Every structure is written in structure tokens, then in C-alpha cells.
Structure 1
Amino acid sequence: MASRQRLWAGTTLEQRRAARRAALLDAALDLLGEHGGAGVTVRSVCRRAGLTDRYFYENFAGRDELLSALFLQVAEELQQAMEATTPVAGSSREEQARAAVDALVSVCLDDPRKGRLLLVEPLSDPALSGVSIGVAPTFTRLVRRQLPPGASKNESVLTSVALTGAVATLFFGWLSGTLPVSREELIDKCVRTVLLFWGERPRG
């Protein structure tokens, strides 16, 4: 017989803990989007979330663990978006490439905070660089699955790594403000880049 959990204000202890954890992660994402990794501290996160540090340390050992958990959460969101872009029967290579780019856009550009977390901050924040390197192979494997058939294993690996790096660099430039082009121009260039790596000649 399942044990009955004590309710307080209509919620269980585990539900309240989960809500506090989510609030801390949301606060960290907001602060990172506004001020970069340097703006994310235990004190600033607690203040933004409206929680005391007691509740912070109930969930995370420190700032670095919080940022790592946040990175993995958003990386999983991106992974799910990419996995959902299965080729549609009869679709052109360009349509497939645009679907793959749209998956990245839906996470990294539609919410620039997440794009900055995944692509910009790992270059300067040690707490994020390690976890970023750790998840990189997951995304190159996802890219490799979408490559046209026929290439050798080594060629597919090299192409997927190069393509991931090329598109990530374009996104990084746009998010960091060093690539002064419109969002539409960025997306079109990413699609053309994917097609070139696939061995296809873009139209226009």
C-alpha cells in the first residue's frame, strides 16, 4: 500500500522541492541571458527566484552544479527538437536542411538565453566548458544520422563534426553580436551551409 505523502497548501513536499528547483533554474537562465555567466551567483539566483540560500543548497552543491544542470536541461531540449526532424518522404534536400536548421532555431534563436547558454558562455565559463565538451558527441551523432547515405564511416564522422562546428559558429556570431546580419539571412546561410556539406548545390 503506497505511503501517503503529507500535503501542504495542496502540494506534496516533493512537488514543492521540484517547483523550487525549477524556479532556481529559471532564475539562472534569466540572469545568464541578461548578464552572461558572470551575473549568475548563488546570491543573485536566490534573489531572482525569491528563495533563500537554504533552498538553493537543497538542490545544488554550488553555482557550477546549477549551471551544469541548466546546460544539460537545455541541451536535452535541443536534442529532442533535432530528433523530431525525421525526413519526410518525398521532401527535397533543401526542405530537409531547413527542417534541421529550424530545430536549432526553435531553441537557440527563439529563446536567445538558451542560445547564449549553449553556444556563447561555454567559451569563457569553466563551469560550462566541461559539460559542453561532454555533450558535443551526442549532437554530432544526431547530425551524422541526417547525412545522405553513401559516405564511409570516417567521412560521415568528419562531415558531421565540421558541419556542427560551422553552423554553431554562425549562431555564435549572431548571438554575440559580431555577425551583423538579419535573422532571415542567418537562417538562409545555415541552410546553404548544410546543403554544401551534404554535397548539394543550393538554389539561387
Structure 2
Amino acid sequence: MTSGQRRGRWSGVPLPDRQALRRDELIAAGTTLLGGADGPALTVRAACRQAGLTERYFYESFGDRDEFVRAVYDDVCNRAVTTLMSAGTPREAVERFVALMVDDPVRGRVLLLAPQVEAALARSGADWMPSFIELVQSKLTAINDPVLQRMTATGLIGALTALFTAYLDGRLAVSREPFIDYCVDLLLTLAASYPPAT
């Protein structure tokens, strides 16, 4: 029995809830490993070691490593979407998203860098892109033309993706606050350049 599986770890937790808790712990471990500063180092054994669980518990929730990698990626994407959905204004959306990805760069690296090097995520980034575009589009209420809204949202997502990728990859020598200000200004400047239709 490892230290992570010592007696009492699941004390007081109903049996039906234990698998869900173990899955959450494995997802958290996978996020740490997939978003590591030195690049993905995610194996089944490494995830189990990080979570303090045996492989038996890994396979009660995931069929194989690739399924696990996609579940980790989906979890990070869901958190990002929730963050954007909870914002009331374009500025708040960008600030919250930047804070989520910059204050926890592990998540940022999972979202933007892992799909570039992890074969299991070859399609995942593209599959999630429409969700992010639609969310940004829904915040561009100053633009009445839905086609223009869509193009603007798509352009913003492309620009922000490139900026975040370079920032998280260490290719932008800028501190947190100027980076946030630039991203917010980019969104507001582009959105403001299209006045509402009369």
C-alpha cells in the first residue's frame, strides 16, 4: 500500500463516489504531467505515481493512455469555456481567461502546447475551436452583423492563440500585466472598430 493509498484515504466517502474522486485525482495528475514546463511526460505509471494510486484504479476509469490524455485535455478545455461563459463583458472574458492560463501555466500549456506534440490530441484542438469561437462571438454584442461577428471572433481566437502559445512557450519576454493589457486592448480595439449597424 502506497502512502497515497494508506488506510483512511477514502474514509467517509460512499463507495459510489470513490471512483469519481479517484478519476478527478488522476485528471489533476495528468494535467500536471501533460502541462509540465519541460514538455509532456505523461505515462500511465507516472500519472498513477503522481496521484498516489495503482494502475488498477487507472483502468477503472480509462481504457488506455490515449483516452486518458484526451480526458485531461477535455477537462482543461471545459474549465476554459466555463471561465469565458461566466464573464459579463469582453474585457472580463479576456482578463479571466488570461488569468486562468497565465496564473496556472500548466493548464495553458495543456490547452495550447500539448496538441502540438501529443499524438492523442491530433484532432482535439480543432474539435474544441468552434466552441471558443462561438463564446467569443457571443461577447461581441456591439457588432450586429452575425457574419462579421463570426469573422471577428475567429480572428481574435487566432491572434490570442498565437500570443498565448508564444507566451507560454517562453518566446515573449513580457511580464504578466503588460501581456494581459495587450490581450484586452487587442480584443476591445478590434471589436470597437466595427460600430453597431444603424
TM-score (norm 2): 0.86
Partner of 2:104: 111
Partner of 1:61: 63
Give the one of 171, 175, 187 matched to 1:178: 171
Q: Does 1:135 pair with 2:138?
A: no
3-state SS of the aligned residue for 2:47?
helix
Identity, in percent, stands at 38
Structure 1 alignment gaps of length 5 or more = 1-7, 88-95
1-side partners of 2:67 and 2:110: how far apart?
14
Partner of 2:158: 165
3-state SS of the aligned residue for 2:123?
helix
- Name the Cα RMSD after superposition: 1.8
Q: How does 1:12-31 map to 2 (within 5 A)?
A: 12-31=14-33
Q: How does 1:32-111 map to 2 (within 5 A)?
A: 32-34=34-36, 35-37=38-40, 39-87=41-89, 96-97=90-91, 99-111=92-104
2-side partners of 1:146 and 1:11: how far apart?
41
3-state SS of the aligned residue for 2:172?
coil
For the 8 Å contact 2:142–2:192, the answer to whether it is kept is no
For the 8 Å contact 2:134–2:153, the answer to whether it is kept is yes
Question: How many residue pairs end up in the alignment?
Answer: 184
2-side partners of 1:9 and 1:115: how far apart?
34
How far did residue 157 of structure 1 move? 1.3
3-state SS of the aligned residue for 1:40?
coil
2-side partners of 1:105 and 1:150: how far apart?
23
For the 8 Å contact 2:142–2:191, the answer to whether it is kept is no
Partner of 1:149: 142
Structure 2 alignment gaps of length 5 or more = 1-9
For the 8 Å contact 1:101–1:190, the answer to whether it is kept is yes
3-state SS of the aligned residue for 1:109?
helix
Q: Structure 1 residues 57-66 or 11-20, which shifts more?
A: 11-20
3-state SS of the aligned residue for 2:33?
helix
